Amino acid sequence: MRVGIIGATGYGGIELIRFLMTHPKIENVMLYSSTQDGKYIKELYPHLANEEGLMLKKLDLKTVASEVETMFLATPPGVSSEWSGLLLEAGLSIIDLSGDVRLKDPLIYETWYKRIAANLALLEQSVYGLSEWNEEKIANARLVANPGCFPTAVLLGLAHW
């Protein structure tokens, strides 16, 4: 599988790089950044010195589908809701690590996150990515909302009650 990460220079992105680089099904990882274009990840994070060829590049919606199949969005709240629709239109599958498409009700999202929710079309097609609850839906989803750590802990506890 060929994957990309938007937000690769943040904490979540860096941890994701470490996981993906050792995953047996990952063929290639592309890193996208709007502020660090042209830099190697090892320049910014010396502990990733073994990831020799990983260069950050600007995202080009015209060519991204030829570079990756799945895009991870390791972005702050509000950013992935802007990118998700564009990436879906480009033909990619998305795994969103922010909370932008986790909550189906825009009013609940806006109450808790204090920002405008993603558009309803995105919310309706997103699948909550807790595999213990939604394994079949996740397998066919193009937009997966990665669950947060606290809800995961509570829901897994309830699932095994």
Q: Tens digit of pLDDT for each residue in 45-96?
A: 888 877 778 999 999 999 999 999 999 999 988 899 999 999 999 999 999 9
Give CA separation, 3 vs 15, 46, 76, 95, 112, in Å: 15, 22, 19, 10, 30
Domain that holds residue 41: 2-159
**Residue bearing tokens 């595999």:** 131
Q: Residue 155 above 80 pLDDT?
A: no
Q: What is the pLDDT of residue 153?
A: 76
pLDDT of residue 160: 67
- List all residues 6 or more positions away from 160 whose beta carbon is below 8 Å from its beta carbon: none
Q: How many domains does the chain have?
A: 1
The reported pLDDT for the residue numbered 89 is: 94
CATH of the domain at 90: 3.40.50.720
Helix axes 149-159, 131-140, angle to 10 degrees: 110
Residue 34 banded pLDDT, cuts 50, 70, 90: confident
Q: Which residues are catalytic?
A: 149
d(CA 159, CA 104): 21
Angstrom distance (rounded) from CA 51 to CA 147: 28
Strands 2-6 and 28-32, by their bridges, are parallel
| Cα distance between residue 111 and residue 22, in whole Å | 38
Q: Decide if 61 contacts 83 (C-beta within 8 A).
A: no
